[in-house]
Amino acid sequence: MEQQDITINYSFDLANGTKKRFLIRLDPLTSLMKTSSHSKVEWTRLTAHQCSCCRLSADQTAHCPVAVNIADLVTAFKDILSHESCSVSCITTERTTIKETIVQDGLSSIMGIIMATSGCPTLDILRPMARFHLPFASVDESMFRIVSVYLLRQYFIEKDGREPDFQLSRIKQYWKQIERVNEGILNRIRYAAELDADKNAIVILNCLAQILPMEIDEDLNSLRPYFSRPDTIA
């Protein structure tokens, strides 16, 4: 069966009556197809507050792919406070999810999927999760998905004849780099957003990047209770 493009519609209905709509379109390999109309603004240039771990060069691209693709969001929410109440809906082919929440939580959810699919070499490890996007995920849900996807990746690596990492010995290295990218993007949007909604959305994403290595160090004990019943699979 031919794979189809993936569409994700996010809607923000703020308490003051303001409505904001965003369409995310991914190709079958979960790479972002739509780019921002604000892609040429100065803070999106690759060399403007470039991430310390960036693997791209100005010879490859003039603009940071993540910055380019979140620019519309940053512009749309630059004068909105992070704790403003809103109703956020996420519509995919499979389901519609609606949550009464605050702006920073909805923004964190949509920014996460855009950043993971923008073509940043460091964030590309997160791209397979985009096909099965889970909006408004809790910390436990995020941990479960991240580790599960990482281990599935190792299965395919082994099938390809390469050396897998089933012991999670390398995952912390990846997430340290992801943390640096989040910090770099936060530095960029500090110069583009007047209020704190966009900034706090990135802070939320970065908190997850900081929590995961600690969870790995503790042998994922927060998830262990879900597997505490006797194993019935021989």
Number of domain units in the chain: 1
Q: Is residue 87 part of a domain?
A: yes
Q: Is residue 163 part of a domain?
A: yes
pLDDT exceeds 60 at position 203: yes
C-beta of residue 111 within 8 angstroms of C-beta of residue 73: yes
Q: Is residue 233 part of a domain?
A: no
- Phi and psi at 81, nearest 5°, equal -75, 145
Tell me the mean pLDDT in the region 8-37.
90
C-beta of residue 44 within 8 angstroms of C-beta of residue 63: yes
Local structure of 123: helix, strand or coil: helix
pLDDT exceeds 70 at position 38: no
Condensed to tens digits (0 to 9), the pLDDT of residues 142-190 reads 999 999 999 999 999 999 999 999 999 999 999 999 999 999 999 988 8
Q: Is residue 144 part of a domain?
A: yes
Q: Is residue 59 part of a domain?
A: yes
Q: Is residue 234 part of a domain?
A: no
Round to whole Å and give the CA distance between 7 and 72.
17
Q: Is residue 216 part of a domain?
A: yes
Q: Is residue 99 part of a domain?
A: yes
Q: Provide the domain limits for residue 67.
A: 7-227
Local structure of 214: helix, strand or coil: helix
